[in-house]
Structure formats: C-alpha cells, structure tokens
Amino acid sequence: MAAVALTSEGEEDVTAKLAQVHLDGSSDEALEADQIKVGTKKKKKKKKPKNKKPAVSYPSSTHFFNGLNEEWTMETDGKNKIPPLGEIPPAEPTPPPETPQETAKWTALLKNNRRKLTLPAFGLLDETSRSVLDTFLTPGCKNVELETPRLKLRQVQRGDLTGIRKIKTEPIVQKTQLYGAPTLGLIQPAFQTRYIRSSIPRITTGHSRGYREEYIFAITALNPDEITLSSGDQLKASNRISDAKGYLAGNIALRLDLHGNLFPIPGQPALHPTFQQCDEAGLTGTLFYEIHPQLWGQGLMREAFREVVRFAMEEVGCESVLSDPMVGNEASIRLCLAIGMHLIKETTDNPYGKHQLVHSISRMEWYRLNRPELNLSEVGKGHWGGKEVCRWCLNPRLWNPVVVCKCGWARYCSRECQRADWVWVGGHGTECTSNQ
C-alpha cells in the first residue's frame, strides 16, 4: 500500500472526457451500452444472503402489524412467505496493487493541473457538465447495489430515461405521487439527472450539506422471465412495457435529513459514522418509491421497500425511517404498516398542499422486529460505523482505502476517486496540507 503523490489531472484528459460523454441516453442503444459497461466492470460475485433462515416471523401480537402479516403473501408463486431479509455483505476484497505502468499513467494524468470542476446544483446538465459528472461519478460511487429474491436495486444510469418517463407520465401513477403530472421537459432535469447526481455523495444541492442527500435505486428484475406483466390495457399506449428487462420497474429513494455534519473533517481520515454519531447528527431517512403499474400486485415493492429500510438502518445508520403516502394510497399505507411502521402524524406541509400520512419506524423498533436474536446493547455490532472509507465515494462496502495522498490523511479506494476529489471545487485540492 504505497503512498502515491497526488497532483491534479491534465487538461487534455478533461478535454478528452468532454468529447466522449453523452448523458441523454434515451435510446435503447445507450441503455445497452450502459448495461454492457456495468456488466463488464462489476464482475463481483452475487452476494447471496448467507442467512437462509426464512421468514423472520412477526409475532401477531405486536402492535406494529395490526394483523397485516398476510400482506407478505407473494402472489406470483402462491406461497405464503415473507421475503428473506438481506444482510450487511462482507466488504469487497482489496484489489491487486497498481503496476508501475499504472502508477506512471496516473501520475501523468494527475500532473500539473489545478483546474477545478463543479456541477450545477439543479437542472439539466449541458455537455460540459455531463463530462464533469463522468469524472465525479467514479466506480466507487456506482458500486452500491441491493438485492432481494427477485430484484436488483442499482444506481440510476444514463439510459434509464425512457423507463423513467413511462412511469412519471402515466396518469395511474401520478395519482399516487406528490409530484403529480410533470411535463415531459421536466422529467429529465428534475428526475433523471437528479437521480444520477445523487450517486455522488459529496456533491449536494443544499438540502443537507452535512452529508450525502439521497440514495436512489433503480428497480430492475434479477430474472426478467420470472416477473409477471399485466396487460397494461388501462395505461397510455406509450407507457406500456412488453418485458421486464433493464430499468423498468421503477425506483425507490432513501432521502437523508440531518442537522449535524457527517462529512469527512479536514486533517482526519474519513470514517463511516457510528450509530452514536448518526444519532447526534439526527440522521433520518425518508422513502420515496414508485413502480410501473404493469408490475403491481406481485409484492415487488414490498421486497424493495423492506431491503431499503434494512439498508437504511443497518448500513447507513438512520435513527428512524419515514414514509409519507398520500391519503387514499391504500397500497402504500399497507406497505408501511407491514414493514412495522406506524402513523405518527398527518400533514399538508408540502409544496403541493396535499394530505399525507407520515409513518415511521425507529432503529430500535426495526431491530426488535428483524433481529430479535440481538440484545439491544448489541445493536450496531457489525455496522460499518468507524470503518475508514474512501474520502470521495464514502462507500463503506469497499476495501480500506489504498490510494494515499502525500498529506497522509486523505485516502481513496481508487485513483478515480482521488482524481475526483482533487479536481472538485470543494474537494481535497483546497484542504490538502502537504506541500505540492
């Protein structure tokens, strides 16, 4: 694990990147290209939950469930079962060390350039900012995936726009969503680019400057052939789907709110926050989700919802997770109750003045329901809290950072992350204490 000197990247490289990036990705070709890219980059083995224990059994006496256990019936296979709960995966193995050739390549790439890059907080990304996005969106940022029995939840990609439009413009979906009926022109800037940008944890829009703002997952089928599609007769023809491949099923987002600061501190290694630090910072999560209507009624969102709540509790460290369906969205309300949430308040305090029912579950309640084998004093054991993470992607599932700046305290999972933090206008280039 040799310390490598850090310099900023060459201007030519930035220009080259500008030339090769396209974000719109609304064509199938772009979608396929993205899939191929991801497929080849991520050769990691599927992490099957070791825990084959089925069905955490929920005591019917608990007040959380209100007798709704039957909500977990999966209609596709007719078996009455609760989807198994995921778990914290083992950290990814450390990659092989850099070869001298690679070191030379990166040294040249990072040399003699103090040019700083930034991204606009909102709106559609133009050609220039798309290339910046490509520099910032490192492999470590993209490498956050969750798996359920039938689904893979991955980060939103370029190329997902067509799928996103099919959901956002569908009146049946719009009735259930706070945002109502966005225009076609608004969908790309307000949703797709926001979704993609959210994968870069250090770039915030101002809503929570102290930490990553959101995890937004595209819902995809692990095996498209096992997913049943309803006919979609009631949908607009342009919104119908004919198979369950690629992005299509919808998305599920975990928005983070906090009043403290959990970002890395200058002069210190970046550590994933402990539960105590999360609590002191008041870290809470709120879920937003939608799924294509041709996939309704199979319990798919239940799987996604349950896994994202687990991720929020066990891996991110939220002290509670909320969901606030609109009055009348019965399916969503049942989902909240089935996961163990309870109604905490009703509100119309949103930009649209709509009536929402806020449901919540605390970390302790979640552990009591889902990890009954743990003493409450053991909660947090196995959590990533305190683990050193890459200063740029902050991804706790990766190996311990192996790329080290001359200052000694700025460390990264990869050269890509090192470069991103160096060229970002708010990044390490301005805080580094070594004399470079």
Residue 304 beta carbon to Zn ion: minimum distance, rounded to whole angstroms: 25
> Is-contact 178 326, C-beta < 8 A?
yes
245's CB contacts (< 8 A; 6+ apart) are 221, 224
Q: What Rg value do the Cα atoms of the chain yield, rounded?
A: 22
Closest approach of Zn ion to the CB of residue 428, in Å:
6
Nearer to Zn ion, 59 or 267 (CB): 267
Rounded least distance, CB 112 to Zn ion, Å: 16
Looking at the DSSP bridge assignments, the partners of residue 345 are 358
Among 405, 411, 418, 424, the residue binding Zn ion under the rule CB under 5 A is 405
Asked whether position 151 contacts Zn ion by CB under 5 A, the answer is no
Distance CA 75, CA 88 (A): 28
Q: How many CA atoms lie within 13 A of 321 on its CB side?
A: 30
Neighbour-count burial for 200-212, b at 16+ CB within 10 Å, e otherwise:
bbbbbeeebebbb
The nearest distance, CB 354 to Zn ion, in angstroms, is 39
Which listed residue (218, 322, 335, 432) binds Zn ion by CB under 5 A? 432
What is the spatial distance between Cα 232 and Cα 235, in angstroms, rounded to a whole number?
Answer: 5
Nearer to Zn ion, 144 or 405 (CB): 405
Identify the helix (H) or strand (E) that includes residue 305. Answer: helix 300-310
Which of 53-61, 114-122, 140-148, 169-177 is the region at the interface with Zn ion (rule: CB under 5 A)?
140-148
User: Which structure tokens are listed for 223?
Assistant: 């095996």
Measured from the CB atom, the residue of 133 and 393 that comes closer to Zn ion is 393
Minimal distance, residue 138 CB to Zn ion, in Å: 6
Q: Which of 417, 419, 421, 423 binds Zn ion (CB under 5 A)?
A: 417
Which residues 6+ apart lie within 8 Å of 218 measured at CB? Answer: 153, 154, 155, 156, 157, 160, 163, 195, 247, 249, 250, 251
* Distance between CA atoms of residues 289 and 219, nearest Å: 10
Under rule CB under 5 A, residue 140 binds Zn ion: yes
275: left (phi over 0), alpha (psi -120 to 50) or beta: alpha
- Biggest CA pair distance of the chain: 66
Q: Which of 167, 410, 420, 423 touches Zn ion by CB under 5 A?
A: 410
Q: Count of CB atoms within 10 A of residue 88's CB?
A: 15
285 near Zn ion, judged by CB under 5 A: no
Number of residues that bind Zn ion (CB under 5 A): 10
Query: With binding defined as CB under 5 A, does residue 420 bind Zn ion?
Result: no
User: Closest CB to Zn ion among 58 and 392?
Assistant: 392
**Choice between 376 and 425, CB closer to Zn ion:** 425
Neighbouring residues of 402: CB distance < 8 A, sequence distance ≥ 6: 1, 94, 95, 97, 411, 412, 413, 414
Residue 203 binds to Zn ion (criterion: CB under 5 A): no
136/195 with CB nearer Zn ion: 136
What's the min distance (Å) between Cβ of 107 and Zn ion? 15
Interaction with Zn ion in 364-393: which residues (CB under 5 A)? 390, 392-393
- 431 token code pair: 């805080």
Residue 85 or 432 having the CB closest to Zn ion: 432
- Lay out the site mask for Zn ion across 100-139 (x = CB under 5 A, - = otherwise): ----------------------------------------
262 contacts Zn ion (rule: CB under 5 A)? no
H or E segment to which residue 403 belongs? strand 403-404
Beta carbon nearer to Zn ion, 140 or 246: 140
Least Å distance between CB 344 and Zn ion? 36
Comparing CB distances to Zn ion, the nearer of 367 and 409 is: 409
Interface residue list for Zn ion (CB under 5 A): 140, 390, 392-393, 405, 407, 410, 413, 417, 432
